[in-house]
Amino acid sequence: MRHVGVLIIGGGPAGISAAIWCKRLGIDCLLLEEQPQLGGQLFNIFNEIIDYPGMRTKNGIEMQREMVKHFVEMDCLHEVNTKVLFIDERSKTVKVKKKAKEQEICYTYLILATGSSQRKLGVPGEQQMIDRGEVYSASADGERLKGKTVAIIGGGDRAFEGAHLLSSKAREVYLIHRSTRFKAREQYVERVISNPCIKVMTDTEVTAIHGDRHITSIDLESKNKEYKNLLVDAVLIRLGVAPNVDLIKGKVATAQNGLIVTDDVHQSSNPFIYAIGDACTTPLFSSISFSAGQGTIVAKHISSLLTES
């Protein structure tokens, strides 16, 4: 069976940083990424990135290119299209699937850099909408949504920012939230509430999304048990993110919000398993720079353990 000193699961900013640092510190390391390319959520960032020191890029894809170029120049060992299916923490092995083939890899230390994903509504029609590719970005798809009726679901900053951005392009914008309290910043809320082009519907839940070839309408249910079918052309789900921790559930300690619990060197409750990036960071602090910094901490800490032994 193949053995590596450090096995990193996930090729987003956190995993990339950890791999670069492992390489720099001379640690035998392999990074596995299930997607065809490294980069993680960088592929979902359509706005300009202005908050990463020394690298201001027009979007996430440009930053992905720079990071991967650096990673490849450092000759970091990695495999893409490779999904980790199972972790056996007792034997310190993982089962991976690459194309149709499964194999096992044994590790001394494991770094979970599996990131986070957008929360879903969990209603009929949602997955079909995603599978059809009807996934929009408020900042990048303004032209595609010009003259359309758009529903934005959520009560946080991204929902309110999206509604504001689309209000100058779309024919109608509905912001739908299941409560009357919003998590979004006060100035975002005020800007939307005072915008006559945006209709805010509170205490209202989406119960289904309809459409065969494209979205045609959504079903709504209010707290007072009033039901309504609303004709829309697009739905943007902005319910925040959830950490990708299914692989490790029950094997290391996780908090109530699902995040992997780590100490100040990012070690989990299992001394051979570490977590970095969005998998262990509250959304309030999740960022590219924080993920990269956590990759540094873990690699340096593991290096010190390997030097001691």
Ligand X SMILES: Cc1cc2nc3c(=O)[nH]c(=O)nc-3n(C[C@H](O)[C@H](O)[C@H](O)COP(=O)(O)OP(=O)(O)OC[C@H]3O[C@@H](n4cnc5c(N)ncnc54)[C@H](O)[C@@H]3O)c2cc1C
Of residues 36 and 147, the one with the C-beta less far from ligand X: 36
From 18, 33, 129, 254, residue interacting with ligand X (rule: CB under 6 A)? 33
24 three-class SS: helix
CA angle 93–97–103, rounded 5-degree value? 45
Of residues 159 and 220, the one with the C-beta less far from ligand X: 159
- In angstroms and rounded to an integer, the radius of gyration of the C-alpha atoms of the chain is 21
Of residues 61 and 247, the one with the C-beta less far from ligand X: 247
Whole-angstrom distance, CA of residue 81 vs CA of residue 289: 25
| Residue 304, number of CB atoms within 10 A of its CB | 12
Of residues 76 and 113, the one with the C-beta less far from ligand X: 113
Of residues 34 and 233, the one with the C-beta less far from ligand X: 34
Residue span binding ligand X (CB under 6 A) among the ranges 108-116, 142-150, 167-175, 262-270? 108-116
Binding mask 268-297 for ligand X (x = CB under 6 A): ---------xx-------xxxx-x------
| H-assigned helices in the chain | 13-24, 60-73, 126-131, 157-166, 186-193, 288-308
From 22, 30, 34, 154, residue interacting with ligand X (rule: CB under 6 A)? 34
**Subset of 1-20 contacting ligand X (CB under 6 A):** 9-15
Binding mask 237-256 for ligand X (x = CB under 6 A): -------x--x---------
Q: Which amino acid is at 175?
A: L
299 binds ligand X (CB under 6 A): no
CA 116, distance to chain mean position in Å, is 3
The distance of closest approach from Cβ of residue 307 to ligand X in the complex, given in angstroms and rounded to an integer, is 26
Whole-angstrom distance, CA of residue 290 vs CA of residue 22: 17
Residue span binding ligand X (CB under 6 A) among the ranges 32-40, 99-107, 179-187, 192-200? 32-40
Q: For 127, how many CA atoms within 13 A lie in the half-sphere containing its CB?
A: 3
- 138 phi and psi angles, rounded to 5 deg: -65, -35
Residue 207, token pair as written in the block: 């119960």
β-partners of residue 95 are: 86, 104
Q: Which amino acid is at 136?
A: Y
From 21, 57, 87, 115, residue interacting with ligand X (rule: CB under 6 A)? 115
Residue span binding ligand X (CB under 6 A) among the ranges 44-52, 120-128, 172-180, 263-271? 44-52
Residue span binding ligand X (CB under 6 A) among the ranges 66-74, 114-122, 213-221, 228-236? 114-122
The distance of closest approach from Cβ of residue 39 to ligand X in the complex, given in angstroms and rounded to an integer, is 6
Binding mask 48-77 for ligand X (x = CB under 6 A): -x-x--------------------------
| Residue 209, number of CB atoms within 10 A of its CB | 25
Residue 250 neighbours by CB under 8 Å, 6+ apart: none
Q: Which residues here bind ligand X, judged by CB under 6 A? A: 9-15, 32-35, 40-42, 44-45, 49, 51, 83-84, 113-116, 244, 247, 277-278, 286-289, 291
